[in-house]
Amino acid sequence: MSSPGDRAPVPAPATAVPTSVSEPVSVSNPAAPATAPPRVVLGIGGGIAAYKACELLRRLRADGFDVTAVPTAAALKFVGAPTWEALSGRPVSDDVFSDIPSVAHVATGQRADLVVIAPATADLMAKAATGQADDMLTATLLVTRAPVLMAPAMHTEMWAHPATVANTATLRERGVVVIDPAVGRLAGSDSGAGRLPEPEHLAALAGLLYRDPHSLRRDLAGRRIVISAGGTREPLDPVRYLGNRSSGRQGYALALVAAARGAEVTLVSANVLLAEPPGVQVVRVTDARELENAMVELSHEAAAVVMAAAVADFRPAASAPTKIKKIVDEEPEALALVKNPDILARLARPGAARARVVVGFAAETGDGSADPMASVLAYARDKLAGKGCDLLVVNRVDGGRAFEVAENAGLILAAEHGGAPAGVVAEIPLGPKTALAAAICDAIAARLGRA
């Protein structure tokens, strides 16, 4: 799991920010220094999940944002103003009568480069949907032209109520990014949909939205996507296994972004120790054969399948029922290996049950030549043709790249389709794994649009 120290500071955005379907505007402030950190308004609704926003604020600051906390009066009953001021380094006010000379209830929204609401309660969402502005936070929402990310948190019945469903739809139509809540323990003894997503996920989505305001558009709404993540473990005995260095971060980032873009995501997770992304169904597996069975079964009704998991190419021919002992002065017997199934090739095989878009990953080190990317690309093109998949994400993994780190870079190759020639459709520079995930979602959405 990444920590705030793993992530690079957020760079300035390269594009204008759309606040609605029809109104693109720029959030840049000519009066601000060129090196000024991006400004985030963190709005906190009046729910028990307000305590988790403290960690979110800490992560946003660690990511390079200048954060102003704007809690509602109800939120201050859960977490007091001194806490928000200590964490943000800025004064806190919840009403429109504070700092009248500077017109703070207007200026706060005007200066924002991004607005994040966490938790977004049912009451706060209703006010935002109907344009009310009776406190600092709702006034800020009415004034701002920056991207807005809302993370609802409430009891399941409130989230499912027709009024909240309608308010969510209204906000999304206006360009607000409203992510689905997580499923889990709520206030009291209740469990269900309505839990605030983990701060690490909210911080990752906030950074992605700031970098690219179009990255979380809901172009995958209603699409079912199956994603594998992690690395398989092939048992040698009850204690040992053959495996690889995959942490699952890239597959989890892809599931997080795809779900935020409206997809119905099933994540097949192989030995991953990360928090589950909100709005995602997780199926856990251990070895390659379990992964194959799960992916084949789940792919039958999927629009897209992504094989981001690192599958062990081989497994022991036999797994010992008890721990293999080390005998002094004796060398161990040679380990006999057999091939594991080629899951990507099976998923890409033409047939009625095949997903419309099959995406593979190629982790390559090159051949040691002076131009390693040339050989990486050559290997990847051969793999794209040989596996029969539609898209292939190519990563260089030598020199500590890609595995067990928070950042990634890559190329996305596409097979010929619908008159579009085969070739590189995107080149993603080194950055957060959510950025590569967004580019993969772009390629999937484009492919589905031509299907």
Distance, CA of 334 to CA of 327 (rounded, Å): 14
pLDDT of residue 106: 85
pLDDT in tens, 198-257: 999 999 999 999 999 999 999 999 999 999 999 999 999 999 999 988 899 999 999 999
pLDDT confidence band for 6 (50 / 70 / 90): very low
pLDDT of residue 338: 96
Average pLDDT over residues 156-162: 97
H-run or E-run covering 69: strand 66-71
Phi, psi for residue 57 in degrees, rounded to 5: -60, -45
- Catalytic-labelled residue, pool 29, 167, 244, 271: 244
233 contacts 242 by C-beta, under 8 angstroms: yes
In the residue annotation, 244 being an active-site residue is answered as yes
Q: Which residues contact 333 (CB under 8 A, 6 or more apart)?
A: none
Pick the more confident residue, 370 or 407.
407
Average pLDDT over residues 440-448: 95
Q: Which residues contact 386 (CB under 8 A, 6 or more apart)?
A: 345
Distance, CA of 160 to CA of 154 (rounded, Å): 10
* 143, 145, 146, 152 alpha-carbon torsion, rounded to 10°: 60
Angle 172-211-209 from CA coordinates, rounded to 5°: 20
Distance, CA of 311 to CA of 362 (rounded, Å): 11
pLDDT of residue 377: 80
**What one-letter code names the amino acid at 233?**
R
Give DSSP secondary structure letters for 5-18.
Answer: GGSPPPPPPSS-EE
Prior bond to 162 cis, omega within 30? no
Q: Which residue has the tokens 């200590």?
A: 86
**In the chain, what are the domains?**
4-211 (3.40.50.1950), 224-450 (3.40.50.10300)
Residue 267: both structure tokens together: 């994540």
From the DSSP assignment, how many helices (H) and strands (E) are in the chain? 13, 21
What is the number of residues in the chain? 451
pLDDT of residue 376: 75
Average pLDDT over residues 282-294: 97
Average pLDDT over residues 371-391: 82
Average pLDDT taken over every residue of the chain: 87
Average pLDDT over residues 120-129: 98
Is this model's pTM higher than 0.85 or not? yes
CA separation, residue 373 to residues 250, 366, 378 (Å) = 21, 7, 8
pLDDT in tens, 130-154: 999 999 999 999 999 999 999 999 9
Q: Please provide the distance, in angstroms rounded to a whole number, between the alpha carbons at the two ends of the chain.
A: 36
Angle 80-86-90 from CA coordinates, rounded to 5°: 100
